[in-house]
Structure 1
Amino acid sequence: MPRTILVVDDDPHIRQLLVFALGKAGLDTIEAGDGEEAVTLIGERIPDLVILDINMPRMDGLEVCRRVRATSGVPILFLSSRDDEIDRVLGIELGGDDYVVKPFSPREVVARTQAILRRAAAKAPDVQGCGGRIAHNCLTLDLEGWRALWDGQDVPLTVTEFTTLRTLASWPGKVFGRDAIIDRLHGPGFAVTDRTIDSHIRNLRAKFAAVGADTLIETRPGIGYALGSCERSGS
C-alpha cells in the first residue's frame, strides 16, 4: 500500500512542490498549513512520516514535535533555514529523525523520506537467531516489534534512535565512527553533520538514563561510539 506523508509548511508553494515530488515517487500526501492543523491531522490520520517546517506561525515545528512525541513515534523530517543550526539540533534532540536545509532540492527531500521509510520497514538481521532479538546484558532489542527494553522495561525510541542503537548492538565491541553510523542510517553520500549523530546519541543516553541505565553507549574520543557493557549500575 502507498505510504502517506503529511507535509506541514505555512508556504503553500513549498507544500505544492513537495506534494508533486512525493506523488511522482508513488507516495500519498496530506497537507497542513500550520502546526495546530498538523497536530490534529496526526491524531486523526496517523501518517507514515511527517515533513515538518520549523519556522511557522501559531505553533512552530519544534512545539509540534514535542506534542507528537508525547504520544507517537511517527518519523519526522524537519525543514529548516540555513541560519537555524540551533533549532535543527534541538529538533533532533526533541525526537526528529532527520532534517533538510532550505532552500532544498525536492529530490533530496524525497530521498531522505524514502530512507527513513525504509528504516521503519526494514527487518534487521537476526544476530543471535532468537526470533529477531538482540540481547546484551540488561539491553534487549525486539527487531521485528521495534521495541527497546532495559531490564524488561520499555524505552520508547524514534526510528532513527532505534536504528542507531541497533547498529551498535549488532556488533558489540566494534567502534563506529560517525560516518559509519550515518551510512547505516541513510546510505553513503548523505550530508549529515557530526552534531546530528551526537544529538541522537545524547537522546539515547538520556532516555535510558531515565530508567536507570548509564552503561548503554561508550564514547571513544576521536574515534566514535560503541555499545557499552549494558550492566546495571553498581554491577
Structure 2
Amino acid sequence: MPLSQRGGPSMAGETHVLVVDDDAGVRQMIVDYLGDNDIRATALPDGREVDRVMADELIDLLILDLKLPGEDGMHIARRLRDHSNLPIIMLTGRRDEADRVMGLELGADDYLTKPFSPRELLARIRALLRRARAQQSVADGLARLRAYRFAGWVLNVRLRRLTSPAGAEVALTNNEFNLLAAFLAAPQRVLSREQLLDMSRLHNDEVYDRAIDVQVGRLRKKLEPDGDAFILTERGAGYRFTAEVETVR
C-alpha cells in the first residue's frame, strides 16, 4: 500500500511529491522530513503502482531510486519522459559517474547519491519546483504568440524556426531555441545564469556546470556572424539581450 504523509486528498496549492524506493527506511525518512516541511509525500516500494498513483493524484515531483525490483528507475524515467515534463530526482547507492550521467540523459533533472542529507534533498526539491514554475511561465507565454522579431530576424515560435534578415533558415538545437526564447521574452533585462537555467530547462549540475555559458557561446555564433552584439555579458550578473523585440500574436 502507498505510504501517504498525513493521508487525505491534496489541498489546493499543496506540493505533492511521489517517492519510489525499495528501502523502507529511506521512504519513511523522506516522508517524515517532507511532511515536517509542509510537503505531502506518497511513497511506493517499487514501480508497479506509479502509473496508478500519477493517474489518481496531482504529482508535482518524483523522487526515484535507480535500482528497484522489477522495472528499474531508469526505465521508469525514460517512459515518463516520453509524455511528461514532471521534475525527477534520481537516487542511487552507487557513486559511478556513468550511472549519474545516464540518469540525467534519460530524463532525470537532478541526482543524489545515498546516503544523503534530507535538508539537501529538500533544497533540491524546492529548486526544481522553482525551475518548473519558471519554465511553465515561459511556455504559457509562447503559447499565446506566433513569433518574435528583432533586428530583421524572426523566431517562429510555433514552428520553432529562426530566419535571418537575409531570409535564410538558421538551424537551432532544442536548447538553443529555449535559450533564445528566454532572452526574447525578457529583452533589455539582465538575466542571471540561474534564471536562464530555470527558463530554458538546461541541466544545472556538476557535469554540465557551464551549460549556460556554452549555450550562449553557440547561440552568439549563429546570431552574430557579422559582428552584431545581441547578447552582452554583464560581468558578475549574467547576460542581457540588447535588441528591441517585437512580438507577433
TM-score, normalization by structure 2: 0.59
My pick for the range that moved more, 35-44 or 25-34, is 35-44
TM-score, normalization by structure 1: 0.62
State the one-letter code of the partner of 1:48. D
Aligned to 1:28: 40
Cα drift, residue 195 of structure 1: 3.9
Mark the CA change 1:113 to 1:229 in structure 2 (over 3 Å): closer, same or farther: same
- Alignment match of 2:53 (pick from 23, 26, 41): 41
- 1:12-161 aligned within 5 A: 12-122=24-134, 123=137, 135=148, 137-138=154-155, 140=157, 150-151=160-161
Cα-to-partner distance string for 1:189-229 (whole Å, 9 max, x where unaligned): xx92134776xx9xxxxxxxxxxxxxxxx958xx9654664
State the one-letter code of the partner of 1:103. P
CA distance in 1, matches of 2:124, 2:145: 26
Task: Determine if contact 1:7/1:32 at 8 Å carries over to the other structure.
Answer: yes
Mark the CA change 1:107 to 1:132 in structure 2 (over 3 Å): closer, same or farther: farther
State the one-letter code of the partner of 1:20. D
State the one-letter code of the partner of 1:109. L
Task: Determine if contact 1:39/1:67 at 8 Å carries over to the other structure.
Answer: no
SS at match of 1:71: coil
State the one-letter code of the partner of 1:150. R
State the one-letter code of the partner of 1:28. R
State the one-letter code of the partner of 2:121. V
Unaligned runs of 5+ in 1: 141-147, 153-161, 173-179, 202-217, 231-235
Task: Determine if contact 2:31/2:41 at 8 Å carries over to the other structure.
Answer: yes
Task: Determine if contact 1:8/1:34 at 8 Å carries over to the other structure.
Answer: yes
Cα drift, residue 28 of structure 1: 0.9
Query: % of aligned pairs identical?
Result: 36
Number of matched pairs: 183
Aligned to 2:15: 3
State the one-letter code of the partner of 2:74. L
Mark the CA change 1:219 to 1:118 in structure 2 (over 3 Å): closer, same or farther: closer
CA distance in 2, matches of 1:133, 1:30: 40
SS at match of 1:194: coil
CA distance in 2, matches of 1:195, 1:150: 25
CA distance in 2, matches of 1:21, 1:163: 35
Task: Determine if contact 2:66/2:72 at 8 Å carries over to the other structure.
Answer: yes
Cα drift, residue 59 of structure 1: 1.0
Task: Determine if contact 1:39/1:64 at 8 Å carries over to the other structure.
Answer: no
Cα-to-partner distance string for 1:89-116 (whole Å, 9 max, x where unaligned): 1121111111112111001111110111
Unaligned runs of 5+ in 2: 1-12, 163-173, 185-191, 199-203, 224-249
Task: Supply the RMSD in Å over aligned alpha carbons.
Answer: 4.0
Cα-to-partner distance string for 1:5-28 (whole Å, 9 max, x where unaligned): 001100011011111111122111
SS at match of 2:89: strand
CA distance in 2, matches of 1:51, 1:164: 28
Aligned to 1:176: none
